């Protein structure tokens, strides 16, 4: 994952897990030599010049950013010399430290990835788990997979980080069909940060969903967005081939910042459901417009 992944004009089927998983590596600080030199417990595919994030796993705050000057390994430990001081680093084993600072190599996170003009069918889980910034998922056809077409995750938990943020992401002109709901909790498009909130620096910042068609014959949401800033949605269509169940929410946006929703179509049976469920979000209702749905269906609710 050092460079951006380019996957175009391919046909992929029958995978037993994810078709694509772009992620980075992180390590735990086990020793501080000085404010520029640290020892970590994990190899992060590092090279001189790579950009590193030092972060707190509990608060999801970035302690500092720096570029690598040199690295060396000994007995399974990696010594990193950075180009600037990083203060307030918590070291494993120090008195009172239960969650030491972790270090993530953002230069080895497949940033700048492009997945375009592909077909993905009949597989067990996600098409793409994306943790890579500045990425594009465009003109793809997805049918009958067990997970999401794209699961854009900022996966920072207490003990590990598989990706700090898939910010600045475009999801455009895709056709997604199937996802029969056998794998509970997966939705065709899902974007969220693990254990984050709008104040966390690990939050996803910048997502555009444009001209996608999601044909969902199941009980699940079509689009789920959580803990994401600068959300834009333009001219997307959602189709429910079967009647929605009682708790189905076609579009759910939670704890996020919605900049604009312009053009969103629901195609399906007449119903009394809510098209867009918005909870705990920053949003101006004037920026939610051009929604099309059956008679009697509520455009949106804001909680």
Q: What is the mean pLDDT of residues 47-55?
A: 93
| Contact between residue 75 and residue 31 where contact means Cβ atoms under 8 Å apart | no
Q: How far is CA 221 from the centre of its chain?
A: 17
In tens, the pLDDT along 146-168 reads 889 999 987 776 666 777 788 99
Q: Residue 108: name the closest of 165, 153, 50, 65 by CA.
A: 50
Residue 60 has pLDDT above 90, yes or no: no
Average pLDDT, stretch 178-184?
A: 58
Query: Which of the pair, 3 or 254, is modelled with greater confidence?
Result: 254
* pLDDT above 90 (res 141): yes
Per-residue confidence (pLDDT) for residue 164, from 0 to 100: 75
3-class state of residue 295 by DSSP: coil
Supply 11's token pair.
Answer: 């046909």
Tokens of 265: 């179509």
As a whole number of angstroms, the distance between CA 90 and CA 98 comes to 9
**Number of Cβ within a 10 Å radius of residue 278:** 22
Question: What confidence score (pLDDT) does residue 92 get?
Answer: 92
- Residue 166 CA to residue 172 CA, distance in Å, equals 16
Question: What is the predicted pLDDT for the residue at 57?
Answer: 79
Question: Above pLDDT 70, what percent of the chain?
Answer: 94
Dihedral sign for Cα 153, 127, 117, 2, please: positive
Please state which of the ranges 104-108, 135-139, 192-196 shows the lowest mean pLDDT: 192-196
Which pLDDT band, with edges at 50, 70 and 90, does 273 fall under?
confident
CA nearest neighbour of 80 among 40, 115, 119: 40
DSSP 195: T
pLDDT, residue 183, reads: 52
| Two tokens, residue 135 | 């990425």
Pairing mode, if any, of strands 102-105 and 114-116?
A: unpaired
CB 261 within 8 A of CB 292: no
Please state the φ and ψ torsions of residue 286, each to the nearest 5 degrees: -65, -20
pLDDT of residue 260: 98
Question: What integer pLDDT is reported at residue 284 of this predicted model?
Answer: 96
CA atoms within 13 A on the CB side of 6: 1
- The confidence score (pLDDT) of residue 184 equals 57
Q: What is the pLDDT of residues 251-272, one digit of tens each?
A: 999 999 999 999 999 998 888 8
- Choose among 89, 85, 93, 84: nearest CA to 101: 89
* Contact present, 26 and 45 (Cβ < 8 Å): no
136: confidence class by pLDDT, cuts 50, 70, 90: very high
Lowest mean pLDDT among 80-89, 94-103, 147-156: 147-156
Per-residue HEC secondary structure of 46-113 comes to CCCCCEEEEECCCCCCEEEEEEEEEEEEECCEEEEEECCCCCCCCCCCCCCCCCCCEEEEHHHCCCCC
Q: What is the pTM of this model?
A: 0.90
């Amino acid at each position: 994952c050092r460079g951006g992944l380019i996957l175009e004009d391919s046909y992929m089927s029958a995978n037993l897990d994810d078709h694509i998983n772009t992620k980075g590596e992180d390590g735990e600080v086990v020793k501080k030599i000085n404010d520029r030199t640290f020892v970590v417990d994990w190899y992060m595919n590092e090279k001189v010049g790579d950009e590193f994030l030092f972060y707190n796993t509990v608060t999801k705050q970035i302690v500092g950013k720096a570029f690598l000057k040199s690295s060396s390994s000994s007995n399974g430990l990696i010594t990193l010399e950075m180009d600037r001081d990083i203060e307030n680093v918590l070291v494993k084993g120090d008195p009172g430290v239960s969650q030491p600072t972790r270090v993530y190599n953002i230069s080895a996170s497949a940033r700048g990835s492009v997945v375009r003009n592909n077909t993905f069918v009949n597989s067990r889980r996600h098409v793409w788990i994306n943790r890579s910034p500045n990425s594009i998922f465009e003109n793809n056809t997805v049918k009958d997979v067990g997970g999401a077409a794209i699961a854009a995750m900022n996966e920072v938990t207490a003990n590990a980080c598989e990706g700090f943020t898939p910010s600045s992401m475009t999801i455009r002109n895709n056709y997604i069909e199937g996802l029969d709901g056998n794998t509970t909790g997966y939705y065709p498009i899902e974007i969220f940060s693990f254990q984050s909130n709008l104040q966390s620096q690990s939050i996803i910042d910048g997502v555009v969903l444009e001209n996608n068609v999601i044909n969902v014959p199941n009980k699940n949401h079509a689009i789920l967005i959580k803990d994401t800033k600068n959300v834009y949605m333009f001219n997307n269509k959602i189709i429910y081939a079967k009647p929605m169940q009682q708790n189905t929410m076609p579009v759910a946006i939670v704890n996020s910042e919605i900049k604009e929703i312009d053009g969103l179509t629901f195609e399906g049976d007449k119903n009394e459901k809510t098209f867009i469920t918005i909870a705990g979000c920053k949003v101006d209702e004037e920026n939610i417009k051009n929604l099309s749905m059956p008679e009697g269906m509520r455009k949106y609710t804001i909680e």
